[in-house]
Amino acid sequence: MTGLSARNEKTPRPRFYQRKYVVDRNLQFGIVGFFFSLAVITIGVFCIAYFVVLSDLRQNIGIVDDAARRFLELGIANLNDRVVLHLVGFSLSILAYFVVGGILLSHRIAGPVHRIRTHLRAVADKKNPPALKFRRHDYLKDLAEDINRVTDKKS
């Protein structure tokens, strides 16, 4: 069979790292790119907000006397070093989360789209493909039922 039928019960499911998660590059990379851009925008907004607050704090230090100003400037510099380090770590974590989550989410959409495309091509080539079935966690299951009804009527 061409992957349209249900998985053979004797064949074990491949391990997580051996599965093929990118089945439609354009669709999946488009979805992942969208999530990645959302993450970058969110991180950018947080960075801008942090540096605006830090800039306002540095400008308001001039109100206090010299000893307090030197103490606050040193404290702000130390705080800034630590916050920037944490901000970079947080940003990389968020980016990784959005990319991995985008790939996994897009896999639940691209897999069914790939199966539908293959099924419809087989029907158009006058082949008699088996009923269209999706995995348990895939999206678009109702569409598969509708396509099965339409292709069963044409047979």
Q: How many CB atoms sit inside 10 A of residue 63's CB?
A: 8
Contacts of 43 (CB under 8 A, 6+ apart): 91, 94, 95
- What confidence score (pLDDT) does residue 39 get? 92
pLDDT digits (tens, 9 = 90+) for 83-113: 888 999 999 999 999 999 998 889 899 989 9
Percentage of the chain surpassing pLDDT 70?
A: 86
Which pLDDT belongs to residue 75?
A: 87
Confidence of residue 21 (pLDDT cuts 50, 70, 90): confident
CA atoms of 24 and 36, how far apart (whole Å)? 18
Q: How confident is the model at residue 17 (pLDDT cuts 50, 70, 90)?
A: low
pLDDT per position as a tens digit, 52-61: 988 888 887 7
pLDDT of residue 92: 94
Q: How far is CA 25 from the centre of its chain?
A: 13
Give the pLDDT of residue 15.
65
Name which of 33, 36, 38, 31 is nearest 139 in CA terms: 31
Rounded Cα gap, residues 145 and 151, in angstroms: 10
How large is the average pLDDT for residues 116-142?
89
Q: Tell which wins on pLDDT, 121 or 4.
A: 121
Amino acid, single-letter form, for residue 72: L
| Residues in CB range of 84: below 8 A, 6 or more apart | none
Mean residue pLDDT of the chain comes to 84
Task: Check pLDDT > 80 for residue 6.
Answer: no
Domain ranges (residues) in the chain: 23-154
What is the pLDDT confidence band of residue 2, given thresholds at 50, 70 and 90?
very low
pLDDT for the residue 48: 93
